[in-house]
Every structure is written in C-alpha cells, then in structure tokens.
Chain A
Amino acid sequence: MQTDSLHTEELLVNMGPQHPSTHGVLRLVVKTDGESVQETLPLIGFLHRSFEKIAETLTYKQVVPYTDRLDYLSSMNNSLAYCLAIEKLANLEVPERASILRVITAELNRIASHLLAFGSYALDLGAYTPFLYSFRERELILSIFEKISGGRLLYHYNRIGGVARDINIDIISEIGQFIDIMRKKLNEYNELVTENLIFIKRTANIGLISMSDAINYGVTGPCLRASGLKYDLRKVHPYSLYEKFNFDVPIGQGLKGQIGDCFDRYWVRLKEIEESLKIVEQALDLLREGEIRTKISANLKLPAGEVYVPCENPRGELGFYIISDGKPNALRVKVRAPSFCNLSILDPTCRNTLFADVVSIVGSIDIVLGEVDR
C-alpha cells in the first residue's frame, strides 16, 4: 500500500484569543496533523495598551502605577524594577527599611504569582481542585497586601525613593502565620499534584528546552533555571539588599524525566515558593525602625543619561531601559518583558508534540498577556 494514499490534510486550528487555557488573550494558530502539532504561531497584541508610549508622555512618578499593570500578577515586582531604574539614574538612596519592605512584598508577590501558576497549570491539565486550593492560599497574601497597600491586585506600593506605607506589628504577625500555613500546604500540593502519576505522565519529558536553546531564545526566570542554568538576578546582580539574604536557587534536575521538561518548570516554581518563604522570614528579622521613603521633589527631573535595570520577576528578567534627556518625562522607555521573551520559544518546543501537550507547554511557560502585549 502506498503511504501517499494515507496522506491527510493539515488542519489549521485557531486557538484563542478566547480559549480556556491560553491564559488571557493569547492567540495560537496551530497547524495540526490529526492530534500532532506541526507548527504553533503565537499572535499577540490583543491586550496592547501602549505602555511604553504612555511612559514617555507622563512624568516619572506618574508612570509607577502603570508598571503595576504590565504583569498584573506580580505588580510589586514590576514597580520595584521601575523604581530601581529611576533611583539608579537619579542617584537616590533608598532607606534600608524601605528596601527590606520591598523585598518582603516582592517575595510575597512572587509566591502569589507562583501559586497562581501552579493552580492554573493543574487546571490546564484537567485537575480542577488544585486551582481552588492555590487560590485559597493566594487569598491570604492578597489580604496581607490589602492591609499593606490598600489594593488587592494592583498596589502602587513601591514609590520612587521608597515605599508608600509602613507595616505594623499586626501585619508582621499575619505574614508569620502565612509562612507557617504555606509550608504545610506545600506538602499538600506535592501529595495532590506533584506525586500524581497522571500529572507526571502529562509533564515529564514533554516540552524539553535545552539550556543552550533557553539561552539563545532569551528565556529567563524559572523556565531558564528549569533547563539547568543557575541564573537568578537576585544572586547574580543583587539589588534592593538581596545580597543580605541566604537562599538557594533551585534548578531543574530532571526528577521525573529529562532536565528542562514541563515537570521541571513546574517543580522549580514550587521550590521557589519555599525559597521565597525563607527570604520573607529573614527579611522580617532584618526589619529595623527607620524611614520608609527618601523625600524627592514634586517635579522629579533626572539627569540626562540612560539606564537599564533588570530585576528577577516571578516570570524572569524584567528590565526597564530608560533614556532621559533632563526633562520631567523620559525620552524613551523600553521594557524587557520576561513573558514576551519566554513566549518566543513556544513554537520550537511545541513542534511534533500532541495537541494536549501544547496546552501543557503554554501552561508551564506561564505567560501573562498583560506583559507580553504591554
């Protein structure tokens, strides 16, 4: 029998922008042959809000709340990166207490973001319950943030020169309680999901990203570390007093399959939750009385020059490249968004996998469309 007679037509499937597991408004044009995927073309821009243009027209202080809206699941980390960039260009000193508070909020936000990544990844793979469990714990963080900053999703907590509000002893004890609860719940997650045979079957050896590929495509964050490279900006280029803290950088070890598969990316995130808990614990001990903000003039003008400050976001390296020409607003603001760069490796990773694996891979890369489209 000739194999040509078995040839079937390729099917072009338009997955998204309205699809349950494209995490917002990602549109994937998937070329499939039956269930096997030939090509995946991500089409983006459905959530474009011209952040970079807005950042050029507003004054530096006015831009800070907009940065919250880039990766709306880790607002604290975004505004931290932007404030650090401005402070570096303006040569501003940040009080120690403010830096510690920034670390606490950033790490709590990292936990919240990873919890959501964990829950929605399980949901992508068809397990509904972990999603609600992770939201239950995320809720604790959100209520802490609500007490700290007044917001539950977009906080506008980091300001140029410090933070908006101080925290009191009640909030500190609440954070302490959260750390205890979270440590217990991580075991529950491992029992329910990590050790689940079906989960392992769906993630191990799926969507392999080699270390060299990850570097070449500019993949950063947990996805890069899952491929085996111990690269964490908090360690490599410490900012905001991160050099004072003692924590590990978990890397993918190929526990259930090969290094750099979906399981490793998932596993690295869970491990990072543990490390973040450690950092928060140490930060609470380091917290001393003091100023929380450096006074800056109402009309902040930066000296002419340019600066690039990268920060370790939950999703990877978030960098703000700012060019100032001495006016109250920036000449150019460029955002190096981790989700955008990580998304670029989707097509080579998804080649010759099954349709269900595309969902698994997209979930494991953990993108936020607010940041991809900006």
Chain B
Amino acid sequence: MNELFNLLTNKATNDFLPIFNSSSSILILIGLFLISGLIIFTLMALTAMAGTYAERKISANIQGRIGPNRVGWRGFLQPLADSIKLLSKEDVVPREALKFGYLVAPILVFLGAFLPFVTLNFSEHLVIASLSAGIYYILAFTALEVVGILFASLSSASKWSLFGGMRLAAQMLAYEVPMGFCIITVVLLAGSLNLTEVVQWQATKTWIFGWTIFRSPVAFITFIIFFIAGLASVKRAPFDLPEAESELVAGFHTEYTGIRFAIFFLSEYASMFVICALTVLLFLGGWVGPIPTLTEDIGRTLVDEFYYFSREENLSYFSSFLALFSSKSEGGQKIIFNEVIGFINFVIKTLFLYFMMIWIRWTMPRIRIDQVLYLGFKVLLPFSMVCAILAAIQIVL
C-alpha cells in the first residue's frame, strides 16, 4: 500500500505512467485516495465499535455482570444497535449555543481521531502513507481533537461544558509536553521520525530484544510515562476529568445528542486505539515479535512483484494481483506471510494495551484536576526531560 502510494506520487511521471494510459492515471490516483480513505474510515469505525463492545463486556466481567447479550450472538451486534439508536435520535442544538462552533466541534474531533490512522503501520508495508515525520503528524492531529473539544465546550452554552473545556485545556498542557519528550527519547534512539523506520530499527535485533523498551533503561521509564500521558490524552480514567460524570454530568458533550454525541463517543474509542497503536510502534516493536517472522531477506517488495507481472508478463492488474498469491511469484507468498504475522503481532500488542486502558478505567477512581497538573508538571515532565537527556548522552557515547 505504502509503495503504491509512493509510486503514484513520486514515480508516476517516469516509471509508472507507461503502465496506465496517461488520462486515466489521474482517475486512478483519485480512486486510490478514495479507497484509502474508505479503508481507514472503515477501520476507524470498526475499531471504535469493537472498542465499545469490548469495554462493555470487559467492564461487565470486572463487575460481576453479564453485559450485552441480546443483540446478535453474545451481544456482538450491540454497537450496531447503539449506533442505529443514536442515529435515529433528535439532533438538538441548544438555543443559546454558538451554532458554528457547536456544529464544527464533532467534525474536528472526528478528524483528530480519523487522520492518525493514515500513517499507522499495521505491519511493515500495510500502511496508507509512511510519512517521514509520521510521529509528529499523529501528535498534531490528536491535538486537533483537543481543539474540537474546546469548540464544543465553549459553544455549548452550558456551564458543565465550560468546566469540561477548562479542565481539558489545563490537562492538555500537563500531558502533551511530557509526551513530546518521551517521543524525543525514542526519536533520538531510533534516529528517525518515520514510524516505519522506527520499527525497522527495532527489528535489527533478534526476536523481542530489539524493542525500544529493551534497548535502554531510559526507554522503559519513557514507555511508562508515555502510556500514562497517553491515558490522559484520550481522557480515560483516572484522567477523565473533562467528562467526569459524577462531577460535570457529561463534561464537554453534555448538550450533544444523537449523531453528534455518537461521533464524540466513537472518536474516543478510535483515539484510544491510535494511542495504543502508537505506543506499540514506538516502544513495543510494532510488527516485530512476539511471533517471529521469516528472517531471510527477500530483497523485493510486493510492488516489485506486481510491477513484474503487469509489465513483463503483460497480465491485467487484477490477474497480476492474484499472481502475487500464487506459486508463480517468488517472494510474494513469503512477503504476504510476513505481513500477516506482522499484522497479528501488532494487533495482539495493541489490543493488550487497549485492554489495560479498559482495566484501569474500571478499577481506579478519578484524580482531581490539581493532582493531574501536579502529576504532569512535577512528576512526568522532569522525568521525561531527564530521560530525553540521558537518551541523548547514550547516543553520543
């Protein structure tokens, strides 16, 4: 996918154009963009819906309840039923609300949760766009979510929303800075801002020993700080102050109903997934380990193979795509095997962290806003700064 994208953007002029006839190449480009968009949208919606289901089932287990079990097999279709219910609800805009901000806020929150999926490596090559500053791209767009929530809280004309927004603004400062320092630590160690390259650096040692957390004691502390800050950034308990139910009713989304509420709700689960995935990619080796992949270097990529079939053997795109899976292709099967293993590795680790987040939420009470600020500025920030400096020293030595 990544290579296809690069081909279309970089090599289209010299290499790739002979394959397509020139007038259709723009259409194909647009088509690929649309397909990619559709894929990440589906992916986001699916992870969010599965997230709500997992949350309800796991919390039920923790609390000695049964959880949803009416819609579909063991309540599997519950998220779908919830979505349909929320879609069919009345869309209320409070009379006093600032309409523009009120309506724009869910879109911004949605984008903040949706866009980071573009550069997440689900396995080595299974990525929409492997951006050279991918880590900062993700950070920038998760911060967009904060802007959306501030819009929501300030334009809802509700005091609870206002409180939620104020808390979020304060909380954001407390966790974004340590988070940035944690990322600097990893970037210094790995020497790249590209998520693919960060993980490729982690793949240079055998099995799981290449993971960032095993590379340096500093990195392990950084991992813990990053995960705590990540919890705060997705507003999960114990950092769910902006929407603290027992204090602020529902915080920033108090006035939202129906589909707009659903967007806030699903975005929360999607951004949880993003933070977990980012943690896995930065610290836990992404697609590397615990299940080992084939170590031999194939030396070719899937696109090379695809290229070969479509150009040298003059097959149609569809049949050359199929040929990748057949015995005709030398590296194809191996590459696909590696990608599948990598994908499984990535998903296992991400879901484990996801489970941790749910587990923490249903165990811990909520901490107070001044305690969040204390934790952010006086504990996480100094520690993460020291870690970044130590990592820099480690590089120099």
Question: Is B one of A's binding partners?
Answer: yes
The listed residue (B64, B163, B364, B368) touching A127 by CB distance below 8 A is: B364
- The verdict on A359 contacting B159 (CB below 8 Å), with A129-B62, A202-B365 known, is no
The listed residue (B62, B364, B369) touching A356 by CB distance below 8 A is: B369
Which residues from B are CB-within-8-Å of A67?
Answer: none
- Interface check B247, CB cutoff 8 A: yes
Min CB gap B232→A, angstroms: 13
Interface residues of B in 135-169 (CB under 8 A from A): 159, 162-163, 166-167
- Interface check A133, CB cutoff 8 A: yes
Which residues from B are CB-within-8-Å of A11?
Answer: 159, 162
Q: Would B365 and A354 count as touching, CB distance under 8 A?
A: no
Question: What's the Cα separation between A196 and B245 when bound, in Å?
Answer: 20
Q: Would A125 and B246 count as touching, CB distance under 8 A?
A: yes
- By beta carbon, the residue of chain B nearest A19 is B249
Q: Would B363 and A129 count as touching, CB distance under 8 A?
A: yes
Q: Would B249 and A20 count as touching, CB distance under 8 A?
A: yes
Question: What's the Cα separation between A136 and B62 when bound, in Å?
Answer: 13
Which residues from B are CB-within-8-Å of A129?
Answer: 59, 62-63, 362-363
Pick out which of these stretches binds chain A: B180-188, B236-244, B385-393. B236-244
Interface residues of B in 178-211 (CB under 8 A from A): none
The listed residue (A13, A34, A127, A198) touching B159 by CB distance below 8 A is: A13
- Interface check B371, CB cutoff 8 A: yes
Which residues from A are CB-within-8-Å of B163?
Answer: 13, 35, 355
Q: Would B365 and A122 count as touching, CB distance under 8 A?
A: yes
- Interface check B39, CB cutoff 8 A: no
Q: Would B369 and A354 count as touching, CB distance under 8 A?
A: yes
Interface residues of B in 328-375 (CB under 8 A from A): 362-371
- By beta carbon, the residue of chain B nearest A355 is B247
- Interface check A128, CB cutoff 8 A: yes
The listed residue (A20, A122, A196, A354) touching B370 by CB distance below 8 A is: A354
Which residues from A are CB-within-8-Å of B59?
Answer: 128-129
The listed residue (B64, B65, B249, B368) touching A354 by CB distance below 8 A is: B368
- Interface check A124, CB cutoff 8 A: yes
- The verdict on A192 contacting B363 (CB below 8 Å), with A133-B63, A198-B238 known, is yes
Interface residues of A in 113-141 (CB under 8 A from B): 122-129, 132-133, 136
- Interface check A201, CB cutoff 8 A: yes
Which residues from A are CB-within-8-Å of B240?
Answer: 126
Question: What's the Cα separation between A356 and B366 when bound, in Å?
Answer: 10
Q: Would B166 and A125 count as touching, CB distance under 8 A?
A: no
Question: What's the Cα separation between A11 and B367 when bound, in Å?
Answer: 23
Min CB gap A261→B, angstroms: 14
- Interface check A21, CB cutoff 8 A: yes
The listed residue (B65, B167, B247, B364) touching A132 by CB distance below 8 A is: B65
Q: Would A126 and B237 count as touching, CB distance under 8 A?
A: yes
Q: Would B365 and A196 count as touching, CB distance under 8 A?
A: yes
Question: What's the Cα separation between A34 and B166 when bound, in Å?
Answer: 9
Min CB gap B259→A, angstroms: 24
The listed residue (A13, A20, A199) touching B365 by CB distance below 8 A is: A199
Q: Would A201 and B367 count as touching, CB distance under 8 A?
A: yes
Interface residues of B in 236-267 (CB under 8 A from A): 237-238, 240-241, 244-247, 249
Question: Of residues A13, A19, A21, A35, which shows the largest number of chain B Cβ atoms within 10 Å of its Cβ?
Answer: A35
Question: What's the Cα separation between A136 and B65 when bound, in Å?
Answer: 10
Question: What's the Cα separation between A34 and B373 when bound, in Å?
Answer: 15
- The verdict on A132 contacting B63 (CB below 8 Å), with A34-B166, A126-B240 known, is yes
A125-161 toward B: CB 8 Å interface, digit per residue (1/0)?
1111100110010000000000000000000000000
Question: What's the Cα separation between A19 and B366 when bound, in Å?
Answer: 17
Which residues from A are CB-within-8-Å of B362?
Answer: 128-129
Min CB gap B106→A, angstroms: 23
Which residues from A are CB-within-8-Å of B249?
Answer: 19-20
- Interface check A71, CB cutoff 8 A: no
Q: Would B365 and A359 count as touching, CB distance under 8 A?
A: no
- Interface check A357, CB cutoff 8 A: yes
Q: Would A126 and B246 count as touching, CB distance under 8 A?
A: yes
Question: What's the Cα separation between A330 and B345 when bound, in Å?
Answer: 77
Q: Would A123 and B246 count as touching, CB distance under 8 A?
A: yes
- By beta carbon, the residue of chain B nearest A356 is B368
B113-140 toward A: CB 8 Å interface, digit per residue (1/0)?
0000000000000000000000000000
Which residues from B are CB-within-8-Å of A13?
Answer: 159, 163
Q: Would A20 and B245 count as touching, CB distance under 8 A?
A: yes
- By beta carbon, the residue of chain A nearest B250 is A20
Min CB gap B231→A, angstroms: 13
- By beta carbon, the residue of chain B nearest A21 is B246
Q: Would B64 and A359 count as touching, CB distance under 8 A?
A: no
Q: Would B363 and A125 count as touching, CB distance under 8 A?
A: no
Question: What's the Cα separation between A192 and B247 when bound, in Å?
Answer: 22
Which residues from A are CB-within-8-Å of B159?
Answer: 11, 13-14
The listed residue (A124, A196, A354, A357) touching B364 by CB distance below 8 A is: A196
Question: What's the Cα separation between A127 and B245 when bound, in Å?
Answer: 11
Question: What's the Cα separation between A201 and B371 when bound, in Å?
Answer: 8
Question: Of residues B59, B245, B365, which shows the largest number of chain A Cβ atoms within 10 Å of its Cβ?
Answer: B365
Q: Would A124 and B363 count as touching, CB distance under 8 A?
A: no
Q: Would A125 and B365 count as touching, CB distance under 8 A?
A: yes
- By beta carbon, the residue of chain A nearest B170 is A35
Which residues from B are CB-within-8-Å of A357?
Answer: 368
- By beta carbon, the residue of chain B nearest A359 is B247
Interface residues of A in 1-46 (CB under 8 A from B): 11, 13-14, 19-21, 34-35
Interface residues of A in 80-132 (CB under 8 A from B): 122-129, 132
Question: What's the Cα separation between A198 and B374 when bound, in Å?
Answer: 13
Question: What's the Cα separation between A122 and B63 when bound, in Å?
Answer: 14
Which residues from B are CB-within-8-Å of A127?
Answer: 363-366
Question: What's the Cα separation between A133 and B62 when bound, in Å?
Answer: 10
Question: What's the Cα separation between A132 and B166 when bound, in Å?
Answer: 31
- By beta carbon, the residue of chain A nearest B245 is A20
Question: What's the Cα separation between A35 and B237 when bound, in Å?
Answer: 19
Which residues from B are CB-within-8-Å of A122?
Answer: 365
Which residues from B are CB-within-8-Å of A196?
Answer: 364-365
Interface of A with B (CB < 8 Å)?
A: 11, 13-14, 19-21, 34-35, 122-129, 132-133, 136, 192-193, 196, 198-199, 201-202, 354-357, 359
Listed A/B pairs (5) with beta-carbon separation below 8 Å? A35-B166, A198-B366, A202-B365, A355-B247, A356-B369
- What are the nearest 10 A-B pairs in CB distance? A126-B366, A127-B365, A21-B246, A125-B365, A132-B63, A356-B368, A126-B365, A124-B246, A198-B365, A199-B365
Q: Using A35-B370, A125-B365, A354-B368 as known contacts, list a sample of 9 further A-B pairs with CB atoms less than 8 Å apart, ordered by residue number in A.
A: A11-B162, A122-B365, A125-B366, A127-B366, A132-B64, A133-B63, A193-B365, A201-B368, A355-B163
